[in-house]
Amino acid sequence: MAAKVQNGHDETIFALSSGGVPAGIAVVRVSGPGVRFGLDTMLGNLPESRRMTLRPVRSAAGDVLDRCLVVFFDGAHSYSGEDTLELHLHGGPAVVTAVLDDLAQRSGFRAAEAGEFTRRAMENGRLDLTEVEGLADLIQAETEAQRRLALRQAEGFASGTFLRWRDELIRARAYVEADIDFADEDDVAADVSDRIWDSLARLRQDFVNHISSQAAERLRNGLEFVILGPPNAGKSTLINVLARREAAIVTDVPGTTRDLVEVRMDLGGVPVTLIDTAGLREASGDVIEEEGMRRARARASAADLTIAVVPMVDVDEESGVAEADVTVGSKADLLDSEAQRHLDSKGFDLMVSALTGDGMDRLESMLANKARAMAHDTGTAIVTRERHRAILREAEVALGEALDRPEDAIEIRAEALRRAADALGRATGAAAVDDLLDVIFRDFCIGK
């Protein structure tokens, strides 16, 4: 019987870890105790660890399934912390299916679930929870800025910060408990804990600053820019030009857009969802159109940025969009000289013509600059999820109890420091529960 690996898993998992087939190369990853003890019939014997070798891959019945490059990683040097084998197969569907089917028939082997290789890596101490979250974000990253943020998290920037803060709290608690346990000892200075409260006040302010910062979350989740304006202002045409595809239906009929139309874009390296909305005007008696306008206003109230689009040839129709963050004059190709003179007095930020393309580059550049400004402060950010913010809130409250109640017994203040340190420990997974892990790993792909 195969011995269990470090984390207690006695099943060996496998999956196609590369892209879909057909492909030039298809990588099948196998991890668990069966790599060392159950693949003798497949490979004859394992190659030297971390050395790629050309081998025939045989079925349990002895048939050659493929001849490919094979690399073995012993548990001390593998991604998962378990013995791991990678088969770099020819990427034909029949080859991959034959190998996966053969593995499935072997005792103790089963197909991996989504994220299971990474989950085992975490359980074996290869990664902590914030690094796993960063890895998940790296897989999902759509833009360059998201990639940089996720890579920094995956490489341990956030976990390093949480651990440093936790160590500072543990060290402070040690001073406090020295007052409790050794107050009568001649070789322990009196009131040794007094020296730590100023540094803890600064630490608390660090918590507050990170709790209030939303730049990293904005970058990770993407921003929402809502486009508002009267019917036939050119909102749908504008969003199609920005998206460089026919995302929204465009007609001359007022009220064509009834529901919200969402387009995901990369603006200045920041993921932004542009949202086209129903035209805003006085109640028309059309129940569907009025529901569309209600949804438009509701989405705008929660947006990161609102963009009013008002036709330059009818500048009085600004109903419902006066408070927008950016005001765009549309249909500039229809301007006459008098309308041009009134441009500045009407408070437009710029004018565009989606028909001719005039001004569209300037509009896209403006929106990209605003997106970057909203997500600019990510160089030191560690809060990329609400989970991180909730942990910091809990730690800040506990630390505040220790700082703000100097009249409390020193034992009570020490207990508050313990609770703050314990909260920070959960950030890196020191006390992660299965339900939390299930949520984090559910969006991983099979084979990772």
Q: Domains of the chain: which residue ranges? A: 12-123, 131-214+382-441, 223-374
pLDDT at 408: 87
Q: Which of 299, 163, 322 is nearest to 230 (CA)?
A: 322
Give the span between the Cα atoms of 224 and 304, in whole angstroms. 5
pLDDT at 194: 65
Architecture of the domain defined by 12-123: 2-Layer Sandwich (3.30)
Q: Which two tokens stand for residue 403?
A: 């700082």
pLDDT at 1: 33
Which CATH number applies to 131-214+382-441?
1.20.120.430
Mean pLDDT in residue range 304-312: 89
pLDDT at 118: 94
pLDDT at 3: 38
pLDDT at 137: 92
Average pLDDT along the chain: 84
pLDDT at 144: 87
- Consecutive H or E run containing 405: none
User: Is residue 268 predicted with pLDDT exceeding 90?
Assistant: no
User: Is residue 258 predicted with pLDDT exceeding 80?
Assistant: no
Looking at the DSSP assignment, which residues form a beta bridge with residue 225? 274, 305
Domains 131-214+382-441 and 223-374 alike in fold:
no
| Axis-axis angle for helices 129-140, 116-123 (nearest 10) | 160
């006459």: which residue's tokens? 336
Per-residue pLDDT of 287-300, as tens digits, reads 776 777 778 888 88
pLDDT at 189: 46
Widest distance between CA atoms in the chain: 91
Rg (CA), the chain: 30
pLDDT at 351: 85
pLDDT at 315: 54
Which residues touch 245 (CB under 8 Å, ≥6 apart)?
none
User: Is residue 191 predicted with pLDDT exceeding 50?
Assistant: yes
Per-residue pLDDT of 405-432, as tens digits, reads 988 888 899 899 999 999 999 999 876 5
Helices (H), 141-156: 144-154
Mean pLDDT in residue range 353-379: 86
User: Is residue 196 predicted with pLDDT exceeding 70?
Assistant: yes
At 379 the three-state DSSP class reads coil
Give the span between the Cα atoms of 343 and 357, in whole angstroms. 18
- Consecutive H or E run containing 266: strand 261-267
> Domain 223-374 has what CATH class?
alpha beta
Contact of 384 with 153, CB cutoff 8 Å: yes
Confidence of residue 85 (pLDDT cuts 50, 70, 90): very high
Confidence of residue 350 (pLDDT cuts 50, 70, 90): confident
Which of 29-33, 84-88, 349-353, 399-403 has the lowest average pLDDT? 349-353
- Consecutive H or E run containing 343: none
